[in-house]
A and B are shown apart, each in its own frame.
Chain A
Amino acid sequence: MSPEEELQSNVSVASSSPTSNCISRNTLGGLKEHNYLGLSDCSSVGSSTLSPLAEDDKATISLKATELTLGLPGSQSPVRDTELNLLSPAKLDEKPFFPLLPSKDEICSSSQKNNASGNKRGFSDTMDQFAEAKSSVYTEKNWMFPEAAATQSVTKKDVPQNIPKGQSSTTNNSSSPPAAKAQIVGWPPVRSYRKNTLATTCKNSDEVDGRPGSGALFVKVSMDGAPYLRKVDLRSYTNYGELSLALEKMFTTFTLGQCGSNGAAGKDMLSETKLKDLLNGKDYVLTYEDKDGDWMLVGDVPWEMFIDVCKKLKIMKGCDAIGLAAAPRAMEKSKMRA
């Protein structure tokens, strides 16, 4: 097979019906080496909706494709060595194609929440192997995008290079934790001006309540069912009690919104008791996400340690927080860190 033909015989899978593809792809088994410099071979996966189209166009295109070469005339186009790149992080000349593209696994798993997708096993196992290699590629300093660098957070679930999107449409809901989605540069397409302004808006509204300070430690606070997030500066409190009070104040208006709209006078009277009950009672619990990405109940570790590890706060419904065994886990972790 000449290099050109090899390039065309890729099995970039069309994903018009991801579920059926999941199933059929699984039977094909294993990690397929994919080469995007060819054409989509839709028919090979038996995707019925696409095959008529694929046949015609494929025939036309492949004829034309053979007329062109991918290099200067006379040179041979080498087959791209995908696996080599993945496994030898030292080879840094090839830039990742899909930097920080979230794995389709997770995307599918979350967007197909309402559907019982047929086959959930996919590349996640194989992908995890590559995670090691890939993370070193990604930690290479991203010189190009100094602004974007701050927003890039590579997680364990990145798609390895050169895996066609079609392939990774398989979902895996067997073992993966809730999707820790990687941040993609420039996605969603929101202007940085807007992002910065919204971030400042949050910060400003907190500065009205709390103390603005250098060395502020802002974390986002979300509440189940609340339409938007707030931010708090953990350093402006000295203990859990103060934090709790501040959160009560902050989410008062929202909670009352749930009870129906009240006039300004009514709010004052109801706020304190109602929210306190909600927060301290069985209805809501305060949880936080720590540096490891785990969700824990607030209050079990010493305050100083807490502000060190807390990344995010969330006011969850009590019933949702049942899985979070607080004390044993928290103390274990603190022991590990010591």
Chain B
Amino acid sequence: MGLRLPSKVLEHILSFIDSNEDRNSVSLVCKSWFETERKTRKRVFVGNCYAVSPAAVAKRFPEMRSLTLKGKPHFADYNLVPDGWGGYAWPWIEAMAAKCPSLEEIRLKRMVVTDECLEKIAASFKDFEVLVLTSCEGFSTDGIAAIAATCRNLRVLELRECIVEDLGGDWLSYFPETSTSLVSLDFSCLDSEVKISDLERLVSRSPNLKSLKLNPAVTLDGLVSLLRRAPQLTELGTGSFAAQLKPEAFSKLSEAFSNCKQLQSLSGLWDVLPEYLPALYSVCPGLTSLNLSYATVRMPDLVELLRRCSKLQKLWVMDLIEDKGLEAVASYCKELQELRVFPSAPDLDEANIPLTEQGLVFVSKGCRKLESVLYFCVQFTNAALLTIARKRPNLKCFRLCVIEPFAPDYKTNEPLDKGFKAIAEGCKDLRRLSVSGLLSDKAFKYIGKHAKKVRMLSIAFAGDSDLMLHHLLSGCESLKKLEIRDCPFGDTALLEHAAKLETMRSLWMSSCFVSFGACKILSQKMPRLNVEVIDEHPPETRPESSPVERIYIYRTVAGPRMDTPEFVWTIHKNPEIGVSHLAIK
């Protein structure tokens, strides 16, 4: 037995360790390391708010300064999770308010946040500095006003794609005249107009303001005025560009932008008319991030803009960019790391854009640093996937959405098995993968075997049978999140690999063929999994073998949750009971 490392020394060592994965490993070494680690952890991340109870987390990490939580499953983004499912922030805010009053930062994703939550945050945490809400809902602008009014040291207030009950633009006026600490403000998802004079004053007295993302209600004139007061901005989300094109307006805008010499990130650009784009030319050479995904601008205008963005690392754009535009990106934007191409007409029957797999091939060939891709395309080919895999083995995130379900390689009529095999085999650092198009079980054999580092896998309309799930659950060593919809597998593979599920954060399955009976068996076998069935009717009213519509399975040390709505059934561990339906009003 060696001498124990003095805890002060260990503390000092741990102060250099930020990664929570490393800290988790540290905490498993022995009891004293566990204790030292937990007392020094400042940034806490909980990937599934139901995996552990708020009280347990608060107790374990008394020195917590930053809390990040995620609630609903990812497929909630696509309307697959009914309203009222859960993901309430309140129990967490309450627990932290009681145990961790020094909390400074809260980041929530896909959670239900009420005005009471926001008021509680404002009232409980004296040094509160950072609030970031992503894809959250349940609150109104009154809650935002409470934060603005009370949090004296507020540095960051970001509402990213939230659904907010907009009671008007007054919330902005609640920032006291004395508040000068703002570094980042994002209210792009709000609808109402804010008083531009309030905003101007706020911006003027915030010398540290680096990031400002406006909502579409802010006009071009407003934008110009704000840019004049905040030329130090590094990130800008514009308001709406829809206005009559007046020559003076254009030159004022152009001038305002040219004074923002530190601008690196640009977004917003709703309704931008092509005639206005030249106003942005002066900032293009410095841009590292450009979000044009709401700009209905045609390819020639896009190219004219993008060819000036030689330092661009992140580009989000719509398919209006066409293959030709992406070819231009490949030759001008050599630093590109992340590309996302969204469909301009999400409805299936309106796809008539000249964007094909070739666009992505161009970028894969030309942009050597490309590591993250999200690409919507009507159809694809194996050959393209092979080329992409060969050219870009450094891909970390590859999400391909072939919009036509079951679309085979349109040149050879084969499934896209070979293509995704190449991706899985070639891109050894792949951490996130979304597959689509016609895929047989074979594709999943390759993925299971080769995608060793994939942590998150999304699958829709694919596979033929249980083999598909069998391959995935018996391979994919690093798999943490698996989400599957509309695939024809059933119970066998799921039950066979039940143990694997405890090594993962969660599994989502909808419109597959998993039976209620299998869910029961799974729940009984695996005490530390919550097996939740989302179904209109009590699953018991049907035969055991009948499939359930949606299942969400996740590991947890907190037991079944107490806040399930009427359509969510937690399969009880005790077979006699069947399903439990615990709910607290």
Contact = CB atoms under 8 A, between A and B. Distances in A.
Given A39-B492, A71-B517, A190-B342, A102 B348 contact: yes
A107 B406 contact: yes
Given A39-B465, A144-B82, A187-B78, A93 B491 contact: no
A16 B417 CA distance: 8
Contact of B298 (A77, A194, A257): A257
A228 B296 contact: yes
A68 interface: yes
Contact of B300 (A17, A189, A228, A257): A257
A70 B545 contact: yes
- Which 5 A-B pairs rank lowest in CB-CB distance, beginning with the nearest? A40-B465, A186-B78, A71-B544, A36-B513, A71-B517
B135 interface: yes
Interface residues of A, number: 92
A57 to B, nearest CB: 6
B450 interface: no
A258 to B, nearest CB: 11
Interface in B392-427: 401, 403-408, 410-411, 413-415, 417
B135 A16 contact: no
Given A107-B406, A181-B349, A204-B270, 15 more contacts: A16-B414, A37-B492, A39-B466, A50-B442, A72-B521, A75-B544, A108-B406, A189-B458, A194-B342, A195-B346, A204-B216, A208-B243, A228-B296, A228-B344, A253-B274
A111 interface: yes
Interface in B539-553: 541-547, 549
B161 interface: yes
Contacts of B293: 194
Contact of B296 (A39, A145, A201): A201
Interface in B480-505: 485-486, 488-493, 495-496
A180 to B, nearest CB: 7
B271 A201 contact: yes
Contact of A95 (B83, B495, B536): B536
What range describes how many residues of B lie at the interface?
A: 35 or more
Contact of B549 (A65, A95, A104, A227): A95
B376 A188 contact: yes
A228 B345 contact: yes
B445 A53 contact: yes
Query: Chain A interface secondary structure, helix, strand, loop or mixed?
Result: loop
A101 interface: yes
A130 to B, nearest CB: 18
B490 A57 contact: no
A37 to B, nearest CB: 4
Contacts of A49: 442
Q: Which of B445, B470, B492 has the most CB of A within 10 A?
A: B492
Interface of B: 75, 77-80, 82-83, 135, 161, 163, 189, 216, 240, 242-244, 270-271, 274-275, 293-294, 296, 298-300, 320, 322, 342-350, 352-354, 376, 378-379, 401, 403-408, 410-411, 413-415, 417, 438, 440-442, 445, 458, 460-461, 464-467, 470, 485-486, 488-493, 495-496, 511, 513, 515, 517-518, 520-521, 534-537, 541-547, 549, 567, 575
Contact of B405 (A16, A42, A102): A102
B511 A98 contact: yes
A183 B403 CA distance: 12
B492 A115 contact: no
A309 interface: no
Given A181-B348, A189-B460, A190-B342, A36 B490 contact: yes
B15 to A, nearest CB: 39
Interface string A99-126: 1011010011011111101000000000
A188 B408 contact: no
Interface stretch (A164-172, A211-219, A295-303): A164-172
B546 A80 contact: yes
- Among B294, B352, B401, B464, the most chain A Cβ lie within 10 Å of the Cβ of B464
Contacts of A246: none
Contacts of B353: 227
A98 to B, nearest CB: 6
A189 B77 contact: yes
Contacts of A98: 486, 511
Interface of A: 12-19, 36-40, 42, 49-50, 53, 57, 61, 64-65, 68-72, 75, 77-78, 80, 93-95, 97-99, 101-102, 104, 107-108, 110-115, 117, 143-148, 164-166, 169, 179-181, 183-195, 197-198, 200-202, 204-205, 208, 220, 222, 227-229, 253-254, 257, 261, 264
B545 A40 contact: no
Contact of A99 (B83, B189, B410, B511): B511
Nearest to A14: B464
Contact of A189 (B78, B404, B549): B78
B466 A227 contact: no
Contact of A77 (B413, B458, B517, B575): B517
B78 A191 contact: yes
Contact of A71 (B270, B274, B349, B545): B545
B440 A50 contact: yes
Contacts of B467: 39-40, 57, 61
11 contacts: A12-B465, A15-B440, A39-B492, A49-B442, A72-B520, A72-B521, A93-B537, A95-B536, A188-B403, A227-B298, A261-B300
Contact of A70 (B401, B411, B461, B515): B515
Contacts of B403: 188
Contacts of A180: 349
Contact of A183 (B271, B296, B347): B347
B488 A70 contact: no
A104 B404 CA distance: 10
Contacts of B515: 37, 70-71, 77
Contact of B491 (A70, A144, A179): A70
A179 B518 CA distance: 37
Nearest to A260: B300
Contact of B79 (A147, A166, A197, A261): A147
B442 A12 contact: no
Contacts of A72: 517, 520-521, 544, 575
Nearest to A182: B348
Nearest to B300: A261
A115 B445 contact: no
A18 B413 contact: yes
B345 A188 contact: no
A193 B189 contact: yes
Nearest to B466: A39
Given A37-B491, A189-B460, A228-B296, A110 B401 contact: no
A5 B343 CA distance: 45
A148 B79 contact: yes
Contacts of A190: 78, 342-343, 346, 376
A185 B80 contact: yes
A208 B575 contact: no
